[in-house]
Amino acid sequence: MDIFEQVESEVRSYCRSFPAVFDKAEGCYIYGEDGTAYLDFFAGAGALNYGHNNPYITDKLIAYLKNNGILHALDMHTTAKRSFLEHFENSILKPRGLDYKVMFPAPTGTNAVESAFKLARKVKKRQTVFAFTGAFHGMTLGALAATSNSYNRDASGTALQGVTFMPFPYGFNKSFDTIAYMENVLTDDHSGSEIPAAVIVETVQAEGGIIPVDTEWLRRLRALCDKYGILLIVDDIQIGCGRTGDFFSFERAGIVPDMVTLSKSIGGCGLPMALLLLKPELDIWKPAEHNGTFRGNQLAFVAADAALDVLEKEDLLLHVRKAEAFLKDYIEKNILPLDPRITYRGRGLIYGIDFSALDPSGELAGKISKLCFKKNLIIERSGRNDTVLKILPPLVITEEELKKGLQIIESSAKEVLGK
C-alpha cells in the first residue's frame, strides 16, 4: 500500500477504517486483490442500493457504450436523459401524485443542497436557512453551513453563515417540543432570528447517528412551514431511493416537500448523479444561473433508468420491508441481550446499534467495527463520537447475507464486551 501512503493526500478517510486493497465487487460483496470476500454493510455510504455491479444495470451500460452513446453533453437534450426523465416521471412521481420539475446540478449531493439553498433564497428573498442539530448536508461551504458536526465545520477555514440550527428531537431534546420552540423563535421579536427562506431536514439523520423522526413531527413541520411561508427541503440523498422502504423517505408522513435533494443511489450503480426536485412554481431560474460541466452524466442517466427497472421488477420496496422485519428481530433477540444499555433505531435498511450508553467516547464501537472488518464485514460508524454501528447494506441483500453480517456483529460485540 506504499503508493497510497506516499502520494495520496492525508484527507483520505474510509481507507483508514478498511485497510485493504480492493479489486472486484459483485452484489453485496467486495473482493480484495488477494481474493478475500468482504460482506458490504456500507454500500458506498448509500450509493449502491442496487448492489455492486448489478448485472442488469451493467448490461445496459455496456450496450450503451457499444452503441457509441454520447458520454458528455452538458445539459443538451439526449436520448439517455429523455428516457430517464420519462421513466422517473411515470414510475416514481406520477404514481405518488408528485408534481416536481427536475433540475440536474453538478453530480454530487452537496451541490444538490447548494442549488436548493440558492433557489430558496432567490424565491423568498430571505437569506437564512434553518437546519437541525446533528444534520449532515454536504462539505461545500453552503451545504457545510447546514452541517452541524464541528469536526467538518472547523476544516472550512472561514465563517459559515446563513444557517440557524434548531434542536432535533433526539437525546436531551427528545422530550422537548422542537416544533413549538421553532414557532416561538419565529414569533418572538426578541428571539434574534428572522423568518428563514427554507428549512432543511433529513427524515432519518444518517451521519447524525441513524435517528428517525416520527411522522407526526414531520407533519407538524410541514404545517409550520406553510403557516409562515417557509420552503421545506427534504434531504433524501442517503435515505432516498428505497432505503427506508418507500422510494422517498417522507412518503409515510403524507407530506409533500417544496424541494427534495437526491444523489448517491439515484445514479444506479455508484455513478455520479444528483437531482433537485422542485415544485413548478419555484422554478424561477434564469438559464445557466446554476450549472456544472458534468451535470449531464449520460452514463448515470442510463444506469439510473435501469435502476428503476430493477426497483420495479424485483419489488425492492417490499423486499426492504421484509428485510427490516428480519433485521429488527435478530437485533432484539441476539444483540440487545448482550447489555441492557445497548439500543438500536432506524427505518427500512438503515439501522444503527448505539453503544453510547456503554462508552460515549466511541472507543468501544470502534473496536467492534475493527473486529468486524477482521471477520470480513465492512461496516461504518456514525453519530456523536462515532458511537453507533451503521447497518447500511445494499437493498438487494438476501436474508442469508443479512443474517451472516448480523452474526459477525454479534460475535464481534461479544468478544469486545468479554461476553
List, for residues 14-72, the tens digit of each pLDDT value.
Answer: 999 999 999 999 999 999 999 999 999 999 999 999 999 999 999 999 999 999 999 99
* CA dihedral for 172, 155, 210, 185, sign (positive or negative): positive
For residue 37, is it within any domain?
Answer: no
Which positions ≥6 away from 99 have C-beta within 8 Å? 93, 279, 280
> Rounded mean pLDDT of 239-250?
98
- Binned at pLDDT 50, 70 and 90, residue 1 comes out as confident
Given a cut of 90, is residue 398 above it in pLDDT? yes
In CATH, what number is assigned to the domain containing residue 184? 3.40.640.10
- pLDDT tens for 133-171 read 999 999 999 999 999 999 999 999 999 999 999 999 998
Percentage of the chain exceeding pLDDT 70:
100
For residue 171, is it within any domain?
Answer: yes
- Binned at pLDDT 50, 70 and 90, residue 92 comes out as very high
Edge-to-edge strand order for the sheet containing 259-262?
A: 101-103, 275-278, 259-262, 231-235, 198-201, 129-132, 163-166
For residue 90, is it within any domain?
Answer: yes
For residue 113, is it within any domain?
Answer: yes
How many beta carbons lie within 10 A of that of residue 170, not counting itself? 21
- pLDDT tens for 272-322 read 999 999 999 999 999 999 999 999 899 999 999 999 999 999 999 999 999
- Binned at pLDDT 50, 70 and 90, residue 248 comes out as very high
Cα separation values, 76 from 72, 82, 84, 88, 382, Å: 9, 11, 14, 18, 39
Q: Write down the pLDDT at residue 94.
A: 98
For residue 290, is it within any domain?
Answer: yes
Q: Write down the pLDDT at residue 199.
A: 98
Q: Copy the grid coordinates of residue 340.
A: 441492557
Given a cut of 80, is residue 419 above it in pLDDT? no
> Rounded mean pLDDT of 113-119?
98
For residue 417, is it within any domain?
Answer: no
Taking the whole predicted model, whether its pTM rises above 0.95 is answered as yes
Q: Write down the pLDDT at residue 156.
A: 94
Percentage of the chain exceeding pLDDT 90:
98
**Domain total in the chain:** 1
Average pLDDT for the chain: 97
Q: Write down the pLDDT at residue 171.
A: 87
For residue 309, is it within any domain?
Answer: yes
For residue 338, is it within any domain?
Answer: no
Q: Write down the pLDDT at residue 200.
A: 98
- Binned at pLDDT 50, 70 and 90, residue 175 comes out as confident
Task: Give the residue numbers spanning the domain of 248.
Answer: 78-313
Q: Write down the pLDDT at residue 113.
A: 98
CA 300 – CA 57 distance, rounded (Å): 10
Q: Write down the pLDDT at residue 86.
A: 98
- Residue 110: what are its φ and ψ, rounded to 5°? -60, -30
CA 74 – CA 50 distance, rounded (Å): 26
Q: Write down the pLDDT at residue 173.
A: 86
Helix or strand or coil: residue 131? strand
Cα-Cα-Cα-Cα dihedral of 224, 225, 226, 228, to 10°?
A: 90
Nearest to 322 by CA among 403, 379, 245: 245
- Binned at pLDDT 50, 70 and 90, residue 348 comes out as very high
CA 320 – CA 350 distance, rounded (Å): 10
> Rounded mean pLDDT of 175-184?
94
